[in-house]
Structure 1
Amino acid sequence: MKKLTAFSLIFPIFSVIYAQIEPRAVGYYNDALIFAQNTMPMGTARTQALGGTGVTMGADLYSCILNPAGLGLAKRGQVTLGLGMNNFGASTDYISKTIEDSYSFLKLNHFGWISPLTTSTENSGNSLSSGSIAVSITRSNNYQKRFEYEGINTRSTMADRFSFLADGIHARVFENEAATGEIYDLASLAYATFVINPYVNDSTSYYTEFRDINDNLVAPIRQRESYRVRGGETMINISYGSSINDKFYWGAGFGIGSIRYKLSSIYEENLTRQATVNELQSFSLTNQRSVTGGGVNFNFGFIYRPVEMFRIGGSVQSPTAYLLTEIDDNEMTATFAGSSFQPATARMVQSQLDYNFVSPWRLNTGILVQFKKFGFFTAEAEWVTYGGMNLSTDVDVQGFSLDADNRTIKNLYKTALNLRAGLEGRTGIFRGRLGVAYFQDPYKIKLDDLNRNIMSYTGGIGIFSKNSAIDLAVTYTAYRSIYTPYTLPNPDFYYSAESKNSMLAILLGLTLFF
C-alpha cells in the first residue's frame, strides 16, 4: 500500500516549488513538458538546414510529420537515409563555482521512402495527380542532457530535506521498514543509512549529524551531482498526399511514437572537515529512472499554390496518446568517521507506475516564395497547446491520482508560439541553405528571472542530381535551464544550479530517386 509514496517524495525534491504547483502534485507535470517540447529543429538534413521548416516546401520525407500534403509535390520516388552527430555542452554555476561538461554521440536520424501513385478522376473536370504514399522513421525529439555541478554550502544540507519529510512519522515505522527491506520513500532510506536519526525524547522528530545541538551546520558541506539523461522519441509515420490540378495539395497520415527516456544521477555530500569518530562524514544518493512506451496520433494538412511562385499551407497534428511505464530505483550510501562503522547502504523497493500521457495539439501554418530556379524563402509559425496536456493512471493506492499534476499543467503552461524560417539558394546542382528557429518559453510567467526561450541557427549545403542528392546540415542551439536538487520551507536556505546549454548537430543525408 506504500508503493506510490516514493513518487510523492522524490519529485518535489528534484523540482522547484512554485505557487502555481498544486499541493498534491506528484511531479509528472515536469515529465509532460520534457516529452512534449522540442529543443532544436528536427527533420531531414534538408529541412534541418532550413530551420526545421517544411509546412509548404514538400517533396521531403519530413512532410510525413510536419504536413503530409507536401507528399503531393513529390514527382518521383525516393529513399532517404540520415545519420547525425550531436554534441551537447553545459556550463553550470552552483554557489559561485562553474563546471564545464560536454559529450557527443552518433545516431540514425531518419529513414524512409516516398512512392508516387498516379490516379485520375473526371469528376468536375478535376484530375488527381502526383499522389504519393510514404513511410518514415524519424527521430522526432531528443531528451539528451548532461551536466555536473559542485559547491560549498554554508546554509543547508539535503539531509535537512530528509528530516523535514520524516517529521511526524514514528521511528518504529522506519525501523520496521529497514529491518524488512521494504523501504518506499527517501525519508525511510535516509533513516536506514543513519543520515537522519530520531531525537531521544521525541521519536517523531529527526536530526542529522551534519548539524550541532544549536541546529547550525558543524562545517560547510561540499555538494556535488552528476546528472545524465539519454533517449528521445522516434516516430513512425504512414502518410498519403495528393494534388488537384497542381494547385491544391492535401494529405493525411498517422504516426506511432516511441519514447525512451533514461535518467541517471549521483548526488554526493561531504563534510569539509574530519567528522568526530563514528559520526556522519558523507553520503550519496543514486537515482536510476527510466520511462518507456508508445502512442499514436494523426495529422492532416493542405498546401495551396495560387501562382507558381507562391504557396501557403497549414497542418494539424493531433495529440499523441501514450501509454508509458516508469521504473525508478534509489540507493543511498553513508560513510562515518573512524573504523567502528562500515559504510551503510540501503536501497528503496523498485517502484513502477503505468500511466497515460496525452501530448499537446500542434498547429502549423507557413508560406513559401519561389525565386524561379534560383531558390526560395519560407517562413512558418507553430502553436503548441502545452496547457492542454493530460496525465492519468488506473493505479488506485491510498487515493493516489494525477489530478493535481493536471491542474498544475494548466497553472504553469500556456500555448506557445514557435517560429521558423529558411532560405535556399540554387546554382546548377548545388544548394546553399540558411535557417533560424525560435521556440517560445512554454511557461505562463517568467520563473527564476530566467529567459527560457530557445534559439537555433542552421545552415547547410546540398548536391542535387538526377538520381540522387546529398545534403549536409549544421544546427547550433542555445538555451538556459535551472535545476534545484532539493527544496526547504525557507527558500533562502537552498540553492539552484543554472546551466548554459548548447547543442551542435551535424546531419548527413543521402537520397536516391527512382
Structure 2
Amino acid sequence: VALILLSSLAVVQFNVQSFALYAQYTSDVLRFSQPELGSSARFKGLGGAQTALGGDISSLSGNPAGLGFFTKSEFTFTPEFNNFKVGSEYLGSTQSDKNSKAGINQVGVVFYSPVNKPKGSDLNSGWVSLNFGVGYNKTNNFNSRISYGGKNSKSSMADYFADLAIASGGGDPATSTDALAAGSLEQMAYNTFLIEYDPAGYFPTTALNNTQQSVINRSGSQSEVNIGMAGNYENKLYLGLSLGLTNINYTSDLAFTESGNNLNYTGQPADFLNGTYTFGYNSIQETKGNGINAKLGLIYKPVNELRLGLSFVTPTWYSLTDNFSENLNASYRRANGSAVPEYTNPLSSYNSEYSLRTPYKVSGGAAYILGNSGLITADVEYVDYSSIHFSSNFPNEERRTNLDVANLYKGNFNYRAGLEFKVVDNFMLRGGYSFAGSPYKNLDFTTQAYSGGLGYRFDNYYVDVTYRHTKWDSTNSPYTISSSYPDYNFTGAGPTANLKNTADNVFLTFGVRF
C-alpha cells in the first residue's frame, strides 16, 4: 500500500489518497513496537528469561536491577550471524526465498562500584554496591526477502487503481485537468491506460486470469543504547533503572509485476484491441527516527537459592520520518504481437513526519539457583498492543490509524524459560524456549523460539555461543480493495500471501572481567 502522506504537495492531494495509506502505518507501528530484549549469547541461550536472574550485561535492556549482582567490572561483545527464510503460498502457488547477514548484536560495559564503609564494619549490611553500565543492543532485524506470485482469476492491481480513482471523487480526466491528483497513483494508472473512464465511472482495462509476481526486500534494524545503574542492598534486594535511547532505520523495496490480456470495451484504442499488457509498480519506503524510554526493576532473594524479579518498561516515544517514492510503468502488445511504445510516469516522492508511542511492558520472573550445578529461570511478560498511539499533522490519518490499531490489536502474554547446567568445571550447557502471543484479535500469529548454547569460563574471561531457531506466520497483500468498489462482490478485499517465516541465528559473546 502506498505511503502518500504529503508534506510537499497540496493538502487536497493528501485528502484524495489518505484512505489508501493508513493500513501501511497500521502495519509499521506494530513492526516498530515489537523489539526483542537485547542480550548476550548466554541469555539468548536461556530463552531470554532474565527478569529474575541478573548478573549479565543484558540486564541493562531487560531488568536493570540485575546490574546489582556484578562483583567485578565487565566488558562484553557479541557478533551475530543471521539466516532468514520465507516460504509463501499465493493463489495456489508456492515460492521460497532466503537471505543472510552478519553484524554486531551487542556491546557493553558494567562498572562495579562497592560502597565505601568504615574499616571493620559488615560489608554485607546496608548498601553493598552501586554499579553502572552502558550498552548497545540490536533489538530488531528487518532483513528479509519475500517473493510470491500466481494466477489471479478474481482481480487485477488495476482494480485497486480504479478503486483509488473512484474514491477520489474525480470526474472525467478528458474534460477536467484536475480530475485526478497530480502525481497520484490513480493518475499514473490513467496515464498508462491501466484504467479508463466512462459515464459509469472508472474501470480497469485489464482482463482476469492474469499473472502476478511480488518481490519485497526489507533491510535495516532497530537498536538501543541503554545507560543504567543498580544498587545491591544486603545481597537480598536489588533495585535498578536505565534510560534507553532507541533508533529505527528501516527500508522496504517493493517490485510488483502483472501481465495478461487486455479487457475489450467500447471505445478501446485499436492498438489495445485483443492485445496483452505488462506493468510494473515499484515503491521504496525509508523510515528513520529516534526514541526514548526508561526501565525500572527489582530482584529479591527470599532465600539464597531463589530470586524473584519484576520489571517495568515505559512506552518508547518515537519521532519518525518516512521518505517514500513510487512509480508505475506499462507496456502493451497488439493482437499481432507487435509492441506498443511503453508508457512511463515520472517518479513520485513524498515525505511525512509522525510520532509513535509504543506499548509499556510489565515482566515478572523467578530463577532458582542449583548450587554450583546450574539454574532454572522463567519469565512472563504482558504487552498491550492496542495501546499503540500514532500522531501526525493530519487529523484524519491519525484518527484512522489509531482506530485501526484499536480494532486489530490486543494485549498478550509472552513466556520465556531456560536451563543452565555445569557439565564439567567452567563448562556450561544451556537450553531455552520462548513463546510470544499473537498481537492480533482475530489472527493466531504466535512466535516460537528454541535455543541452545554452550559457555566456557577461564580466569577473568569467558566465551558463550548460542544457536536459536525462530518461527512465525504472517501475511502480505499486494493491494487492498475497499468494500465500496463496484465489483467488490467478485474481487473481494484483494489477494493475500500466506507466509511461513523462520530465522536461524548464531550469537557469540566474548567477555572479560576486570
TM-score, normalization by structure 1: 0.88
Q: Cα 1:264–1:425, aligned 2, differ >3 Å: closer, same or farther?
A: same
Structure 2 distance, partners of 1:97, 1:277, is: 32
Q: Cα 1:417–1:92, aligned 2, differ >3 Å: closer, same or farther?
A: same
What is residue 359 of structure 1 aligned with on the other side? 358
Query: Does the 8 Å contact 2:18/2:397 carry over to 1?
Result: no
Q: Cα 1:171–1:492, aligned 2, differ >3 Å: closer, same or farther?
A: closer
What is residue 306 of structure 2 aligned with on the other side? 310
1:240 is aligned to 2:233 = no
What is residue 475 of structure 1 aligned with on the other side? 468
Structure 1 distance, partners of 2:191, 2:459, is: 69
Give secondary structure in 1 for the equivalent of 2:345.
Answer: strand
Q: Cα 1:236–1:386, aligned 2, differ >3 Å: closer, same or farther?
A: same
Amino acid of the residue matched to residue 62 of structure 1? Answer: S
Give secondary structure in 2 for the equivalent of 1:66.
Answer: coil
Given candidates 317, 326, 330, the residue that maps to 2:326 is 330
Query: Does the 8 Å contact 1:461/1:472 carry over to 2?
Result: yes
Query: Does the 8 Å contact 1:195/1:280 carry over to 2?
Result: no
Given candidates 412, 427, 430, the residue that maps to 2:427 is 430
What is residue 163 of structure 1 aligned with on the other side? 162
Give secondary structure in 1 for the equivalent of 2:407.
Answer: helix
Task: After TM superposition, list the pairs within 5 Å mapping 1:430-449 onto structure 2.
Answer: 430-444=427-441, 446-447=442-443
1:293 is aligned to 2:286 = no
Q: What CA deviation, in whole Å up to 9, does each residue of 1:318-364 have, x standing for no partner?
A: 00100000111110110011456321111453111111000110111
Query: Does the 8 Å contact 1:335/1:342 carry over to 2?
Result: yes
Structure 2 distance, partners of 1:231, 1:73, is: 34
Query: Does the 8 Å contact 1:379/1:420 carry over to 2?
Result: yes
Task: After TM superposition, list the pairs within 5 Å mapping 1:127-138 onto structure 2.
Answer: 127-138=126-137
Amino acid of the residue matched to residue 300 of structure 1? Answer: L
Q: Cα 1:121–1:33, aligned 2, differ >3 Å: closer, same or farther?
A: farther
What is residue 87 of structure 1 aligned with on the other side? 83
Amino acid of the residue matched to residue 170 of structure 2? Answer: I
Using the TM superposition, give the Cα deviation of residue 195 of structure 1 relative to its aligned residue in structure 2, in angstroms: 1.3
Task: After TM superposition, list the pairs within 5 Å mapping 1:140-179 onto structure 2.
Answer: 140-167=139-166, 168-172=169-173, 176=177
Given candidates 449, 457, 478, the residue that maps to 1:456 is 449
Structure 1 distance, partners of 2:247, 2:325, is: 22
Structure 1 distance, partners of 2:471, 2:276, is: 41
Using the TM superposition, give the Cα deviation of residue 126 of structure 1 relative to its aligned residue in structure 2, in angstroms: 4.4
Structure 1 distance, partners of 2:489, 2:432, is: 42
Q: Cα 1:185–1:280, aligned 2, differ >3 Å: closer, same or farther?
A: farther
1:410 is aligned to 2:406 = yes
Query: Does the 8 Å contact 1:41/1:456 carry over to 2?
Result: no
Query: Does the 8 Å contact 1:174/1:188 carry over to 2?
Result: no
Give secondary structure in 2 for the equivalent of 1:160.
Answer: helix
Amino acid of the residue matched to residue 73 of structure 1? Answer: F
Q: Cα 1:465–1:349, aligned 2, differ >3 Å: closer, same or farther?
A: same
1:28 is aligned to 2:25 = yes
What is residue 259 of structure 1 aligned with on the other side? 248
Using the TM superposition, give the Cα deviation of residue 144 of structure 1 relative to its aligned residue in structure 2, in angstroms: 2.8
Amino acid of the residue matched to residue 269 of structure 1? Answer: E
Structure 1 distance, partners of 2:88, 2:15, is: 31
| Percent identical | 27
Given candidates 217, 220, 223, the residue that maps to 1:231 is 220
Amino acid of the residue matched to residue 219 of structure 2? Answer: R
Q: What CA deviation, in whole Å up to 9, does each residue of 1:382-406 have, x standing for no partner?
A: 111211111112x24xx54402211
Q: Cα 1:463–1:7, aligned 2, differ >3 Å: closer, same or farther?
A: farther
What is residue 271 of structure 1 aligned with on the other side? 260
Amino acid of the residue matched to residue 61 of structure 1? Answer: I
Q: What CA deviation, in whole Å up to 9, does each residue of 1:103-125 have, x standing for no partner?
A: 10001101110111121479999
Structure 2 distance, partners of 1:35, 1:6, is: 27
What is residue 15 of structure 1 aligned with on the other side? none
Amino acid of the residue matched to residue 226 of structure 1? Answer: V
What is residue 115 of structure 2 aligned with on the other side? 119
Using the TM superposition, give the Cα deviation of residue 165 of structure 1 relative to its aligned residue in structure 2, in angstroms: 1.6
Q: What CA deviation, in whole Å up to 9, does each residue of 1:162-205 have, x standing for no partner?
A: 112212412338974699xx734321121122211222xx2x72
What is residue 16 of structure 1 aligned with on the other side? none
Structure 2 distance, partners of 1:7, 1:259, is: 26
What is residue 74 of structure 2 aligned with on the other side? 78
1:64 is aligned to 2:60 = yes
1:500 is aligned to 2:495 = no
Query: Does the 8 Å contact 2:193/2:205 carry over to 1?
Result: no
For the aligned residue pairs, the C-alpha RMSD in angstroms reads 2.5
Using the TM superposition, give the Cα deviation of residue 87 of structure 1 relative to its aligned residue in structure 2, in angstroms: 0.6
Using the TM superposition, give the Cα deviation of residue 208 of structure 1 relative to its aligned residue in structure 2, in angstroms: 2.6
Q: Cα 1:438–1:75, aligned 2, differ >3 Å: closer, same or farther?
A: same
Query: Does the 8 Å contact 2:467/2:507 carry over to 1?
Result: yes
Query: Does the 8 Å contact 2:321/2:353 carry over to 1?
Result: yes
1:51 is aligned to 2:40 = no
Q: Which runs of 5+ in 2 are unaligned?
A: 1-9, 265-269
Structure 2 distance, partners of 1:130, 1:72, is: 7
Q: Cα 1:105–1:474, aligned 2, differ >3 Å: closer, same or farther?
A: same
Using the TM superposition, give the Cα deviation of residue 408 of structure 1 relative to its aligned residue in structure 2, in angstroms: 2.0
Structure 2 distance, partners of 1:269, 1:175, is: 29
Using the TM superposition, give the Cα deviation of residue 281 of structure 1 relative to its aligned residue in structure 2, in angstroms: 1.0
Give secondary structure in 1 for the equivalent of 2:32.
Answer: helix
Structure 2 distance, partners of 1:189, 1:5, is: 17
Q: Which runs of 5+ in 1 are unaligned?
A: 12-24, 212-216
What is residue 197 of structure 1 aligned with on the other side? 196
Structure 1 stretch displaced more, 312-321 or 160-169:
160-169
Task: After TM superposition, list the pairs within 5 Å mapping 1:374-385 onto structure 2.
Answer: 374-385=373-384
What is residue 17 of structure 1 aligned with on the other side? none
Structure 2 distance, partners of 1:96, 1:26, is: 25
Give secondary structure in 2 for the equivalent of 1:350.
Answer: strand
Structure 2 distance, partners of 1:238, 1:491, is: 55
Structure 2 distance, partners of 1:412, 1:161, is: 22
How many residues were matched structurally?
481
Q: Cα 1:430–1:272, aligned 2, differ >3 Å: closer, same or farther?
A: farther
